[in-house]
Structure 1
Amino acid sequence: MSSERPGHVEGRPVSSPRSISRVRVRYAETDKMGVVYYANYFVWFEVGRTDLLRDAGWSYREMESEGFSLPVIEAHCDYRQPARYDDDLEVRTAGSLVSPVRVRFAYDIVRPEDNAIIATGHTVHATLDRAGRPCRLPERVQALLENPSAPPSAMTARNRTSAPRRETSSSGVPRAVPE
């Protein structure tokens, strides 16, 4: 198990993220007490993780077509403040290579209107091939995760210098947000 604090990757807080995704809390995501149901934070972590990889040039669809999968083998969330219906939130995500066959993503969920940290967490993923055996990620992906300060253009020919902000529509479809 890693000794890093949740919300940190290689000793640095996720507040300097590799990817920012926006979500707006839907009524269906709240519980009887009017706050976000705890399990929804893990759904938002997935939004951040998939956006980070997509923005870096490696979508889950491409990953799977290349014969890789990243099953979650550890998940953790610290709930700091409640989020409520219609809150606009940012999922700030950073990733790092834990070992040749394990990847760790750290997350901060922040309410940008007051910069409140709502939750922090992390997930650890095994890297598996089509047969379900541990394997190494492609070198271009390893390079990005070994050097979290490297720009996403290190992985893709698109040469983006920064990842676009994303938000999730009421139908759950992520879309880029103009700066």
Structure 2
Amino acid sequence: MFAYERKVHFEDVDAAGIVFFARYLNYCHEAMEAFFGPLEGGYERLITERHIGLPAVHVEVDYRGPLRYGDQVTLHVTIPHVGRSSTKLKYDFFRKRDGAHVATVVHTCAVSDLTILKSITIPDDMRALLLQHAP
């Protein structure tokens, strides 16, 4: 399991003072970028030099409780599936002040060559990292 922590910023909340629902996906992308940090050059090099992307092909979100401005949230990232050219990342959101499990996101990505916009076989270094966090 990989853990990513962040603070809820003012720009993340709606008029009710809770995190706007779509911002959860931004948090997931931040966590995904951090997840791939151990690869040489990290996520940035995947995109800019290796031209490998992970476009979303399916996303499921279950909301269980609110996050508010100023909350600290920890995302636990696990990998429930690694296929030939796709993978699933599961993000469980925990509010730090009370440990409440406030949301779960399951994000299916097609590993793709960004120059031709076609799926590719997951490179060995990516596969190894993904499998480190698989059940």
Within 1, Cα distance between the matches of 2:43 and 2:35?
10
Partner of 2:94: 110
- Return the alpha-carbon distance in structure 2 between the equivalents of residues 121 and 68 of structure 1: 22
Name the residue aligned to 2:104.
120
Q: How does 1:55-66 map to 2 (within 5 A)?
A: 55-57=38-40, 59-64=42-47, 65-66=49-50
**Paired positions, count:** 133
**2:133 is the counterpart of 1:148:** yes
* Bigger proportion of residues as strand: 2
Matched, 1:81 2:65: yes
CA shift in 2, pair 1:58/1:91, >3 Å: farther
- TM-score with structure 2 length normalisation? 0.88
Q: Which runs of 5+ in 2 are unaligned?
A: none
Pick from 22, 36, 40: which aligns with 2:23? 40
Superposed CA offset, 1:67-124 (max 9, x none): 2111111111111001111011111112354320101100011112211011111111
Identity %: 23
Q: Which runs of 4+ in 1 moved over 4 A?
A: none
What SS does the aligned partner of 2:112 have?
coil
Report 1:87-98 matches (<5 A).
87-98=71-82
Structure 1 segments unaligned to the other structure (5+ residues): 1-16, 151-179
In 1, are the aligned partners of 2:89 and 2:106 still within 8 Å (CA)? yes
Assess if the C-alpha contact under 8 Å between 2:71 and 2:97 holds in 1: no
TM-score by length of 1: 0.68
Q: State which drifts further: 81-90 or 91-100.
A: 91-100
Q: For residue 55 of structure 2, what is the aligned residue in structure 1? A: 71
CA contact (8 A) 2:71 2:96 kept: no
